[in-house]
Amino acid sequence: MSENHKKVWITGASSGIGKAVAEKFAKEGWKVAISARRREILEEMSNNDKIFSYPLDVTNQDQVNNTFNKIIEDFGGLDLCIFSSGTYDPKNEKSIDVDKIKNVINVNFIGVVNCVKSVEKNFKQKKSGQISIVSSIAGYRGLPNSSGYGPSKAALTNFAESIYFDFKKFNVNVSIISPGFIKTPLTDKNEFSMPFLETPEFAAKKIFNGLTKNKSFEIHFPKPLTLLLKFFRILPYKIYLFLIDKTVKR
């Protein structure tokens, strides 16, 4: 099937990486369903004749199911789902705020689980398709001032690894996307210098190429940063904690 006939559903599409990815896939000829809570932004994006708006709150399972069913009805099927909804506020991460951590987990993790569940039966029955989950390098290891966001992304990565085996039996590919620092409304809230900061367009290109050409389990970028953090993942706790403690400003 040519890319001109392929169809993708993207959540978290109203800003940042999700928005750039939606625009990239549309530019490449894909038919793109976009979802997020901000209806007005989705409607503006849908002025593109390849992009179609389906507003929803990913934390509401009924909304997610109904939205997926509506997309299938309108599109006739999907080839790829990119679940990238997320929330983050560094000011809420400096101390343990249980309610705010619950909200981050509910949006970043449970919201994605809701989306995967909504497509599971359809993809398994047709024995084809791709599901890609946007996680973060923040999920690689524990970092300072990340009491909610980091754990939510670590859970996503572990979730993707876990369901990979089950979906593979049905010829459905599961992958994870681990971006570094990308300039978005969320990272604009950071009060520290972000190494190897890249644009959403850079991220969209890496994601598009990774999902349509390479099809490896993990798409991670920018490599100078992600490879360093991957090395940190294998360090013993004593060395890792010492290095982070000395590196991060108090």
In the chain the domains, ranked by start, together with CATH numbers, are 3-247 (3.40.50.720)
| Alpha carbon 36 to chain centroid, angstroms | 13
Entry field: residues in the chain: 250
Cα 86 to Cα 242: distance, rounded to the nearest angstrom: 30
pLDDT digits (tens), the chain, 250 positions: 345 579 999 999 999 999 999 999 999 999 999 999 999 999 999 999 999 999 999 999 999 999 999 999 999 999 999 999 988 777 766 788 899 999 999 999 999 999 999 999 999 999 999 999 999 999 999 988 888 999 999 999 999 999 999 999 999 999 999 999 888 777 767 767 777 888 999 999 999 999 999 889 999 999 999 999 999 999 999 999 999 888 775 4
Q: Which residues are catalytic?
A: 149
pTM score: 0.93
pLDDT of residue 88: 76
pLDDT of residue 1: 38
pLDDT of residue 87: 86
pLDDT of residue 188: 67
Residues 178 and 137: beta-carbon distance below 8 Å? yes
